[in-house]
Structure 1
Amino acid sequence: MWPYLKAIGAGAAIVALLAMFIFPVWQAWISQFQGLITGLAAVGAAAFTIAKMEKTIRVMERTDSASERRHRQLMRLSLRADKLRIERMYFPHSRELQTLHRKLTELADITAANDTQKIDPIRLELELTADSVRSIVSGEEWKAAGNLFGGILTHQVKDLLSAAHRLGYAAQQARPLPFNDGQQPQAFYATHEARRQEELGKVPPLVAELVTKLESTLKEVRLLAIAYEIY
């Protein structure tokens, strides 16, 4: 609409200019009201400028709104991909780790007395449990979500893997030799048994450490799941 009004205003101005030279009365009238006419023209020009600015602002607002909408859509898609990675890491592994934590807590009660005769019967269970923790935490789902971990969780996962490795290694080194069939000297079996008892003595603090590391990691993982609205 404004292009038409602009053309009409320009035409009226040209007609008024011509009338000043053609009609003396009209010229005298314009001369008498020159200040009023100038003021009205200024008001009209200002109104036209304001209207153009408002139109420009509306266009910019629509552009900004569309850009913001596209940005939100891209953010939702990005967050959805991140959420899926956390979800695949969290389910069902968090429940499995909680089960392993309960088992380790029970085993820690047995090893707390530091009695190798009580530790020896559960040695294999300790080895398998430590290996299970390490297998879950070093699995593909955890690796895929690793770049979404904060500094605390990243450090805790490293500590957890290290604790599980140390316990698993100690339990493995404490494996008994097969029955003495006479093919090896008796001293060999005595040396191995002494070393085995030494490794069994290392187990209690390693079990306690793994229980603590696993518990702190599970708490941090739960906070991460809450942040991504999974828990």
Structure 2
Amino acid sequence: MAVGRRLTVSEAGRVLGLSRTTLLAAEEAGLLTALRTPGGHRRYDPAELRRYAEHAGAAGWEEASAAPTDAGGAVPEAPTITAAARAALRPLAQAIDAESTGLYLLVSGEPHFTAAFGVPRWLADRLTAASPPAPILAALDARRPCPFDPAATGFPEPRSAGNGVAVAVHRDGEALGVLFAVSRRDMLAAEIRFVEAFGDVLAMLVADERRIVELERRMEAIGALTRPEPTADDPERRAAR
């Protein structure tokens, strides 16, 4: 990190590993302070960026993954599934130069925010608690790529700008959820097709991870059933007396 020179928005974003939207959202939330040049441009002091990085690293604000929950008692995704989804979303964002990418998975028939890249923790918490936004529902119903205006829809957050696309994620004809990507520029038709194709890859990853989790649960249940009962001479039985 450069010392003694204030950094531009793009430079600060590269230093912190944040998208422009996330960086400005952190400033809006009062977590980061920017100085202004006489021309009104933002400049960031390296010491201020270091302070924010230390705080963000401890609090986990830079990127987000969340296990979906609801009041109806839906079972949340296993941490391994959300972690795998989050890891997969990073290269997607980098491949199409997206500000953020994210995944909603169906839980009890309703899409719930599950994981994202380029989304700060406070926004992830908000998306997890909120009802699924219109672009997500539209993509799920249409079963085709659905472009949307982030500014008009207020998704992923009210200050979002640029262009977005949401695509339904299917596996063997079964809807699993919706994948979305947001870019500050117009998305090319080839990039939209890439997001759609990546949804198929993500569907295979989620399905495989779910099978692994289910297998582990069954193995654990079998292990509990086949575990021998403690005998009278068993140390655990003697300790319980």
TM-score (norm. length: structure 2): 0.21
Q: Which has the higher helix share?
A: 1
Rg (Cα) greater in structure: 1
Quick one: higher RCO (CA 8 Å, sep 6+), 1 or 2? 1
Considering fraction of residues, name the structure with more strand.
2
Q: Given the two structures, how large is their TM-score scaled by the length of structure 1?
A: 0.22
